[in-house]
């Protein structure tokens, strides 16, 4: 089995994670967290979402956040844009990439954005024009690509049809979203293999949730078939309102730990990333689901003095 030598890790916590928080996170705190993540070596980040402040109050400072993040060499900042107004604001903020999204099932798309899939796709034309004029790349995201909580299994042909429409807009990269944690290794293998055969030049990122405890198992399966781009959220922040009790995104530090243990390069300093995850947990004020941030790397050493020992033999 040959695994990729390198993998790209896309941090989505500042958008996908923060948008789920009901208590407003101050703008300077968001910027500081983004900068800490960048300091760890992450160079791809979905930093915010240019949605209506009424719909998602947490994202009302999107322009300030995008402009406030320290722009280091090689950094590529992306942002979610639901419509042309969001795209115009993203252009003003100077993001490198705009992300348009649609669900793979009609039921989820209607529930999420109150549109049919066709209506959502039609709306991308104007966003594509704005992105092109601003010199920003356009990235597509397909939610519930591995299964819909309303309709069950999603046909791979349906996903293909959506992506084909996206490519006609000049989109050369897409994310497949496991929005409510319905992906399993066979489903991942089947869909990804199909899409790679249909769109051999397309850059495909995978966005897994750990809702049913196998988020990293799905990553490992994807690696085995050559996939090398993954989205994750620091400390496991985020989730989906349609999956009660869901633990949300796979944690970035857990993902990086797995990749490093497999000998796959990421360019990320795991210790700095763990420190950033711990900081995020303190800011949020509750225990977050990331595991490596609690246990540390596999070869972390501990002092013997004060360690728990068994009672002496009688």
Closest CA to 103 of 48, 36, 54, 148: 148
Cα 180 to Cα 148, 173, 175, 213, 308: the distances in Å are 8, 22, 15, 12, 40
**CA–CA separation, 298 vs 286, rounded Å?**
25
User: How far apart are alpha carbons 109 and 158 in whole angstroms?
Assistant: 13
Residue pair 132/170 in contact by the 8 Å Cβ criterion:
yes
Q: Residue 281: which of 247, 240, 216, 236 has the closest Cα?
A: 236
| 8-state DSSP, 206 | E
Query: Does the annotation count 148 as an active-site position?
Result: no
Q: Which residue in the list 148, 192, 240, 308 is annotated as catalytic?
A: 240
Nearest to 66 by CA among 39, 37, 35, 21: 35
Q: Which residues are catalytic?
A: 240
């Amino acid at each position: 089995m040959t695994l990729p030598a390198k993998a790209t890790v896309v941090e989505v916590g500042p958008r996908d994670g923060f948008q789920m928080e009901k208590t407003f996170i101050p703008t300077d705190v968001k910027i500081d967290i983004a900068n800490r993540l960048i300091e760890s070596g992450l160079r791809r980040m979905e930093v915010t979402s240019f949605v209506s402040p009424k719909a998602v109050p947490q994202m009302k400072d999107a322009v300030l956040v995008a402009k406030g993040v320290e722009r280091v060499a090689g950094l590529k900042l992306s942002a979610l844009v639901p419509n042309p107004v969001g795209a115009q604001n993203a252009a003003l903020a100077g993001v490198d990439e705009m992300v348009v999204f649609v669900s793979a099932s009609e039921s989820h798309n209607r529930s999420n954005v109150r549109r049919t899939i066709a209506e959502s796709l039609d709306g991308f034309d104007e966003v594509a024009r704005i992105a092109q004029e601003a010199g920003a790349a356009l990235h597509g995201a397909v939610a519930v690509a591995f299964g819909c909580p309303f309709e069950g299994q999603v046909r791979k042909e349906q996903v293909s049809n959506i992506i084909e429409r996206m490519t006609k807009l000049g989109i050369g990269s897409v994310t497949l979203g496991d929005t409510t944690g319905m992906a399993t290794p066979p489903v991942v293998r089947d869909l990804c293999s199909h899409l790679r055969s249909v769109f051999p030049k397309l850059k495909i990122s995978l966005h897994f949730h750990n809702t049913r405890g196998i988020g990293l198992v799905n990553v490992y399966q994807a690696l085995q078939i050559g996939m090398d781009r993954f989205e994750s959220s620091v400390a496991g922040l985020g989730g989906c309102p349609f999956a009660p009790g869901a633990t949300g995104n796979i944690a970035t530090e857990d993902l990086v730990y797995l990749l490093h243990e497999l000998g796959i390069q990421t360019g990320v300093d795991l210790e700095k990333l763990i420190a950033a995850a711990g900081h995020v947990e303190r800011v949020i004020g509750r225990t977050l689901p990331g595991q490596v941030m609690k246990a540390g790397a596999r070869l972390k050493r501990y002092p013997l003095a004060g360690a728990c020992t068994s009672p002496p033999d009688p």
